[in-house]
């Protein structure tokens, strides 16, 4: 490591100059640049959604965390006559979705997903969220602590499903696997600033909260729940720089880029990705996920 590298990581990694707030998240175009294709036994996350919805015909559809619109496009294509509601905390993600699909394509809400579920008076036939719902859950956990936030979010989920999801309505959710090779590296970093992640040998707070709420509803015969664990196909990164940029700016959301912890975070990520280095200098790191799907009784 050079002296310039050690003293100023920006010399080596100019992308560290990017810093976003929680509300901004990652800029849509940059998000698309960094996003890798997630597949499981050769089947992409979008294909899992497409396969799930192929027999559905909902009148009212809700997407939690529409982001750049990659899942939205799949749902729009299938449900051409449905009424859509798209929710995302990032104003620039909502703006990008409006630009992509049109101002009148859906009811757009720049709002936290949990807060939206708590306040909405609308009823839905299908609700879905690919990867993003955990962001909302964890923001509440960081602000209120695991016990208080967990109780509130469980109550919110149960109330929404009981009152706002129509009978026979469906819910589809993809959630990351904290025990995957990819997430073990990331959880090590989050635990340094958020005590809720202190035990990285168990699933994330968001998954534990979601499990508790949905298993209660399933056990009381209010929903018929399916949870599938999928081990992902290894994601290949061309270089160490690409891994670091994706992990720091995408997965860790630029959180550490302007902190005094940056140098140690970079070094720890470098150390932990080293075993996944291939002979040609590329890296192959395996993700994982849980697919939740249920129908309301």
Give domain limits for the chain: 19-232+247-256+288-296
- What SS3 class is residue 69? coil
**pLDDT 10s digits, 170-211:** 999 999 999 999 999 999 999 999 999 888 899 999 999 999
Please report the pLDDT score of residue 5 as a whole number. 46
**pLDDT 10s digits, 61-103:** 999 999 889 999 999 999 999 999 999 999 999 999 999 999 8
- How far does the chain reach from its first CA to its final CA, in angstroms? 60
Residue 61 to residue 78: CA distance in whole angstroms: 11
- What SS3 class is residue 83? strand
Q: Which tokens belong to 153? A: 């979010």
Q: How many C-beta neighbours within 10 Å does residue 255 have?
A: 20
pTM equals: 0.93
**pLDDT 10s digits, 11-67:** 789 989 888 776 678 788 888 999 999 999 999 999 999 999 999 999 999 999 998
Contact criterion met (CB below 8 Å) for 204 and 197: yes
- Kindly state the percentage of the chain with pLDDT values over 70: 97
Half-sphere exposure of 197 (CA within 13 A, CB side): 19
Please report the pLDDT score of residue 1 as a whole number. 44
Sign of the Cα pseudo-torsion (39, 110, 96, 259, in order):
negative
CATH for 19-232+247-256+288-296 (3.50.50.60, 3.40.50.150, 3.30.230.10, 3.40.50.2300): 3.40.50.150
Please report the pLDDT score of residue 6 as a whole number. 52
């Amino acid at each position: 490591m050079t002296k310039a590298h050690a003293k100023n990581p920006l010399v080596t990694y100019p992308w560290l100059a990017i810093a976003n707030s929680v509300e901004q998240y990652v800029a849509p175009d940059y998000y698309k640049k960094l996003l890798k294709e997630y597949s499981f036994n050769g089947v992409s996350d979008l294909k899992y959604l497409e396969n799930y919805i192929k027999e559905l015909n909902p009148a009212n559809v809700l997407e939690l965390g529409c982001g750049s619109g990659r899942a939205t496009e799949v749902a729009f294509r299938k449900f051409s006559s449905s009424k859509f509601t798209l929710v995302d905390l990032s104003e620039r993600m909502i703006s990008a979705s409006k630009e992509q699909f049109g101002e009148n394509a859906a009811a757009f809400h720049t709002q936290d997903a949990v807060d939206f579920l708590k306040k909405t008076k609308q009823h839905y036939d299908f609700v879905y969220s690919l990867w993003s719902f955990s962001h909302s859950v964890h923001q509440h956990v960081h602000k209120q602590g695991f016990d208080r936030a967990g109780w509130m979010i469980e109550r919110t989920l149960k109330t929404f499903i009981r009152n706002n999801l129509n009978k026979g309505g469906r819910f589809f959710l993809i959630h990351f696997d904290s025990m995957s090779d990819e997430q073990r590296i990331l959880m090590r970093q989050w635990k340094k600033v958020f005590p809720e992640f202190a035990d990285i040998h168990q699933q994330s707070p968001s998954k534990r909260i979601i499990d508790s709420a949905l298993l209660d509803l399933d056990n009381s015969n209010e929903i018929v729940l399916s949870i599938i664990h999928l081990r992902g196909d290894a994601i290949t990164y061309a270089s160490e720089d690409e891994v670091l940029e994706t992990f720091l700016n995408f997965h860790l959301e630029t959180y550490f880029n302007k902190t005094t912890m940056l140098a140690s975070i970079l070094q720890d990520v470098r150390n932990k990705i080293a075993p996944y280095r291939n002979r040609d200098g590329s890296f192959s790191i395996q993700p994982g996920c849980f697919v939740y799907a249920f129908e309301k009784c």
